[in-house]
Structure 1
Amino acid sequence: MSSEIVNYIGYAASVFIVLSFILKDLTKIRIVNLIGCICFVIYGIFNGMLWPVIIPNAIICFVQVYHLVTAKKK
């Protein structure tokens, strides 16, 4: 993947993360934050395996999915 596209994915990730702090509905916050974290994982992988970016965002992805799934069951 070209470095320009990878950089745009990183910028998009930042926008999604910031946007998630603006929202008030918890489900929307989790979904938007999940999208941002997925973008950061992709960014970290295609930018030379940046483990300090990949690991925390991958963990947050699992946390967000867990909470979204358990919220649907209630």
Structure 2
Amino acid sequence: MNPEIATYIGYSASLFIVLSFILKDIRKIRIVNMIGCICFVIYGIFSGMLWPVIIPNGLICFIQIYHLLADKSKK
């Protein structure tokens, strides 16, 4: 992948993470944060397998999915 595209993915990931701190609805926070984490995983893969970026963001993504599914089943 073009390094410039990977950089834009990284910037968009940062934007989504920051946006998730602005929101008030927990479901929206989790969704926006999860999108940011997915972007960071993609960025880490296309920037040369940056494991310190891939591993925590992958784990956070799965945690967000878990909570989104758990909250849905409670309602």
Shorter-chain TM-score: what band? over 0.9
1:48 Cα shift?
0.3
- Long gaps (5+) in structure 1: none
SS in 1 for 2:58: helix
State the percentage of identical aligned residues. 76
1:33 Cα shift?
0.1
- Long gaps (5+) in structure 2: none
1:67 paired with 2:67, answer yes
CA distance in 1, matches of 2:21, 2:73: 25
CA distance in 2, matches of 1:59, 1:4: 26
CA distance in 2, matches of 1:57, 1:22: 19
Report the TM-score, using the length of structure 1 for normalisation.
0.99
Q: Paired residues, what number?
A: 74
* Matched residue type, 2:5: I
> What is the root-mean-square deviation of aligned Cα atoms in Å?
0.3
CA distance in 1, matches of 2:69, 2:9: 26
- Matched with 1:22 is 22
Report the TM-score, using the length of structure 2 for normalisation.
0.98
- Matched with 1:55 is 55
